[in-house]
Amino acid sequence: MLIFLLSGIITACSPKIRQAQESKFNQVQNIPPNIEKWERDMLAFEAQDKAQKPGKNPILFIGSSSIVGWKSLASDFPGKVILNRGFGGSQTDEVHYYAFRILYPYKPKQVVIYVGDNDIAAGKSAETVYNDLKDLFDDIRYQLPKAKITYISIKPSPSRWHLMDEFSKTNERVKTYLESMGNASYVDVVKPMLMPDGKANPEYFLSDNLHMTPEGYSVWAEALRPHL
């Protein structure tokens, strides 16, 4: 009896999902642990939408703190309808879980994604992160068949330099997958963020050696611009 009760509570708290056999993602079976910690962020997004209705068919940016911290996002891409729905510290399965509240309802013409960094830092393997990203890409394509999918590669943060092998494995697999997908693109921000000696350029990172400076975001904007 308790199991059925808990199942009912979980289902009731889950975002509305599109019920279809072809769906790539089962919301109930794939609930990330401690997912409720992001509810405040979701409510804040919904409050923003009520205060000011987002533009139609935006280019929607979603992912972790590197998206949240992109304060110059709108001014970096003038003339385009930009919507930022990043939430800091998020992992791929969490972004996917909330896609039915902060992605699909906006019907974006393009989805720009930066996530995976925190996944590997939390101990997930490159294979796990790739599979989670693939599930997200496939579900976006299913839910929004005409939307372009763009993935920004996991960046070379100095504080996570010891994880670069796993980052690189994930990036390469994602790049290959998106190349085969159609109406999708991969944006490499690793090479332009490195110095000639192959180390991460400290100019692009804040004192925590993880989050980025305005100069770092300028590099991202330059790399991304041809893909929008």
Q: Which of 166, 183, 164, 60 is nearest to 113 (CA)?
A: 60
> Would you state the pLDDT for residue 31?
81
Alpha carbon distance 170, 199 (integer Å): 19
Alpha carbon distance 168, 97 (integer Å): 25
Please report, for the chain, the start and end positions of each structural domain, with discontinuous segments joined by +: 53-227
> Would you state the pLDDT for residue 3?
37
Q: Are 217 and 76 in contact (CB under 8 A)?
A: yes
Tell me: the pLDDT tens digits for 85-131?
999 999 999 999 999 999 999 999 999 999 999 999 999 999 999 99
Alpha carbon distance 128, 123 (integer Å): 10
| Mean pLDDT of all residues in 162-179 | 98
**Which CATH class for the 53-227 domain?**
alpha beta
> Would you state the pLDDT for residue 103?
96
> Would you state the pLDDT for residue 213?
98
Q: What is the DSSP string of 4-19?
A: HHHHHHHHHHSPP---
